[in-house]
Amino acid sequence: MPMRTHPATRITAEEAAAKVHPGQWLDYGFGMGQPDAFDRALAERDDLGGPVFLRAALSMRPRAVLAAADGGRRFVWNNWHFSGVDRRGHDAGEAHYLPLNFGEAPDLYRRFIDPVDLAVVKTCPRDAAGVYNFSGACTYHEALLERARCVIVEVDPRMPRVRGPRNGIHESRVDFVIETDGPGAPELPQGVPTDTDLRIARQVAAHVEDGACLQIGIGGLPNAVCDAILEAGVTDLGIHTEMLVDGLMRLHQAGRVTGARKANGVGKTVFTFAGGSAALNAFIHDNPDLETWPVDETNLPDRIQAHPGVVSINSTAQMDLQGQAASESAGHRHLTGTGGQLQFVRGAYASAGGKSFLCLPSTRTRRDGTVESRIVTALEPGTIVTTPRTDVMFVATEWGVVNLKGRSVPERARALISVAHPDFREPLARQAREARLVPAGFL
């Protein structure tokens, strides 16, 4: 992106929204970096006369343009990773998923995506060096803004300022600035872990050794694993993760994180975005022990594998008896996204002494009260495989942990049935025999 020959112009959110025309592509960026005032102002425009196309990822607050999409007649919402907000939009037919291995996002913006007409992201106020800090949403913002035809920053003085070598944009590359009074960084709900979550967490924590380099995925279960690691007394940990969560913060605050054994970012907790409680938002503000890096520096497997002893811990929603992990959809209903799961599974495997864990409760209860096994003979038609069977290593449920690496299909089926809920083991064994996944007499 070329340097501007004129200083950035201060405008209101309404003036910024007035610059949007039908048929244009806009980008709202990621997570806590999505704009709020501009979003409301754009949704209030009733004179567009045609659709405006938007990209974003992991919306942490309700988006006004999504609510006003009107079946795509006003706004078309495309999203790299669904939050609950985006999922509800998808259920209503208003949001559309963009498949992505998250670590590839900067390269996609630089190589495969046409420059957007307007990029609008939320930032901290300009600092003494003239830089608008991306806060806890570093991710792909640098690459996005490099090629945008028009760059607008929405300044929020209540956003946490996060340290990192490439976590901001210089004022010389900004076209317009919207000044606001808040509302600050959003918070993600912190659910109370269930008894099942705690049982799974303790199973996984038992495999984490002193000096491990942790990656923790999104959701309550990975957070519970952090607390189990804390209870287990594991120490001298490193953190190289996609998402910084409350559980990792608690490990850090307890003195269990040193980063001393990492290959790069030594002594630093490295992440590409943050999402959690108000306490986490306060923790990341100007913390010298933390650094946020662009997502291609955190998530590409070659970057991950450079660290010894990487332990990657993520959730999945369903797994078949061959080990295919379905983490992002239920049939054709899209739930979340690929995110960084596959890249961290691969990076952890390639790390010296590395381990990857995919965690899931053994059952789920439907709204009608029906209890179903999450370990199934075959995935429901339309269900997306996030992590192929060839990549899956450790699988953890509340009934145990099994390693699928190097195992035949019959051995995989037997191992996964052993960690399924006891009520479903015999039906799964029968189905495995009927599907000829296992030879006669094997189960």
* Residue 39 CA from chain centroid, whole number: 22
- Report the relative pairing of strands 333-334 and 329-330 from DSSP bridges: antiparallel
* Rounded CA separation 144/188 (Å): 24
* Rounded CA separation 80/85 (Å): 13
* Rounded CA separation 414/96 (Å): 38
DSSP-assigned letter for residue 175: S
Other C-beta atoms lying within 10 Å of the C-beta of residue 236: 14
419 with 375: CB under 8 angstroms?
A: yes
* Rounded CA separation 268/258 (Å): 8
- How wide is the angle at C-alpha 106 spanned by C-alphas 101 and 111, nearest 5°? 100
| DSSP H helical ranges for 5-91 | 13-17, 37-43, 64-67, 84-91
Token pair 């196309």 is at which residue? 53
* Rounded CA separation 214/235 (Å): 12
Largest pairwise CA distance in the chain: 77
Q: Among all residues, which ones are annotated catalytic?
A: 242
Rg of the chain taking only CA atoms, in angstroms: 22
